[in-house]
């Protein structure tokens, strides 16, 4: 039918829960969130594809036998993007003991029924690794979680964030990126941006290196107040800010010239990206601990290429040393 055709044009693939089901439960937050993540995926993929016309997204729909599935969209080896992935997953089933333990360690009191905790989780997540060292890597993720406890009560929360990892510092870009995210937060509450910016700087910290993964952005988790509707609207504003905070930066630099030395520095910084994702990232850990999760989609965040050189230190007061200084001492970009 017409509506079905229109939805297919809107999205990269048919939604995991099926259009009929989403329509039937369209007032429920779960359905609205699924539509939002599907729309965000399509919006970001189209904006990226427009900048890299020679490349195209491979679109993979996958199912998880324990319940749910997802849609992975990955563009590889383009002119502009070395690897850009935008994934949606909508999964449900029973929480593994390991995953429940991870949540309890964050202060969640979860009362299981016969040791079982039914859950539903959905989110959109993306990592974009451009070819040119003057175009930063960008990551975003917005997700919703629901758990049903023994007595039938539901615990729910949202999490997410958007952050930027440049190889070289460009202050104008940093300001643009942070200002766009701050505007999205400010629509809801002026206290959110400073709080979530700090959380982002603290979260993307590579402890064994004493440096941040990038120049931050916003990050939050376990957000369950003031109300379901208000948090959803906030998450929606953040998701809508992804294209405007990043795409102009890509446009500005994707044709900049660069040297082999600059490309090498990008490769070394990518190595740090990998270290953070495999050692500290909670989402990666949760994915690896979830039975039946799709490893290819979880490890989509890893760059196509990276390097680890023994004891590499950039020369003092070089452009390379400048970014390290910012990664060790986060800055306030908007005031």
Q: Give catalytic status of residue 255 as yes or no.
A: no
User: What pLDDT, on a 0 to 100 scale, did the predictor assign at position 287?
Assistant: 82
Q: What is the pLDDT of residue 50?
A: 97
Predicted local distance difference test score (pLDDT) of residue 100? 79
Burial of 244 (C-beta count, 10 Å sphere; 0-12/13-18/19+):
middle
Assess contact for 150 and 133: CB atoms under 8 A: no
| Residue 334 in domain | no
- The number of domains in the chain is 1
Single pTM value for the model? 0.94
The token pair at 48 is: 């990226």
- Of the listed 129, 134, 139, 176, which one is catalytic? 139
Q: How far apart are CA 137 and CA 139, in angstroms?
A: 7
For residue 301, the enclosing domain spans: 2-308+315-328
User: Does residue 335 belong to any structural domain of this protein?
Assistant: no
Predicted local distance difference test score (pLDDT) of residue 154: 87
Task: Say if 229 falls within a structural domain.
Answer: yes
Q: Is residue 252 part of a domain?
A: yes
Whether residue 147 is contained in a domain is answered as yes
List per-block mean pLDDT (blocks of 10 residues) for the chain, which spans 335 residues: 77 91 91 96 97 93 92 96 96 83 80 82 97 98 92 91 98 98 98 98 96 97 95 98 98 98 98 95 84 84 95 96 97 95
**CATH number of domain containing 174:** 3.40.1500.10
- Is 259 a domain residue? yes
In a domain, 333, yes or no: no
């Amino acid at each position: 039918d017409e509506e079905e055709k229109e939805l297919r044009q809107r999205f990269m693939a048919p939604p995991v829960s099926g259009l009929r089901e989403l329509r039937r439960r369209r007032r429920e937050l779960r359905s609205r969130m699924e539509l939002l993540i599907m729309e965000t995926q399509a919006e970001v993929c189209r904006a990226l594809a427009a900048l890299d016309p020679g490349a195209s997204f491979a679109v993979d729909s996958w199912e998880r036998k324990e319940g749910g599935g997802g849609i992975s969209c990955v563009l590889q080896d383009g002119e502009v993007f070395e690897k850009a992935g935008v994934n949606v997953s909508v999964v449900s089933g029973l929480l593994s003991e390991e995953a429940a333990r991870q949540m309890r360690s964050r202060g969640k009191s979860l009362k299981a029924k016969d040791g079982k905790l039914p859950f539903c989780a959905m989110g959109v997540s993306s990592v974009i690794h451009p070819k040119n060292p003057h175009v930063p890597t960008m990551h975003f993720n917005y997700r919703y979680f629901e758990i049903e406890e023994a007595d039938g009560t539901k615990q729910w929360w949202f999490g997410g964030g958007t952050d930027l990892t440049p190889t070289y510092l460009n202050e104008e870009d940093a300001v643009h990126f942070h200002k766009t995210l701050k505007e999205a937060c400010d629509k809801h509450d002026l206290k959110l941006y400073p709080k979530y910016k700090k959380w982002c700087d603290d979260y993307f910290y590579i402890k064994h290196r004493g440096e941040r993964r990038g120049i931050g952005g916003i990050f939050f988790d376990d957000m369950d107040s003031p109300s379901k509707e208000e948090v959803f609207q906030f998450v929606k504003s953040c998701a809508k800010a992804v294209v405007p905070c990043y795409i102009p930066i890509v446009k500005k630099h994707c044709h900049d010239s660069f040297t082999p030395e600059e490309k090498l520095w990008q490769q070394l910084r990518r190595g740090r990206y990998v270290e953070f994702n495999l050692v500290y990232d909670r989402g990666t850990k949760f994915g690896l601990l979830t039975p039946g999760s799709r490893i290819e989609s979880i490890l989509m965040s890893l760059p196509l290429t990276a390097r680890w050189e023994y004891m590499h230190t950039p020369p003092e007061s070089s452009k390379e040393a400048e970014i390290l200084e910012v990664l060790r001492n986060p800055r306030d970009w908007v005031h």
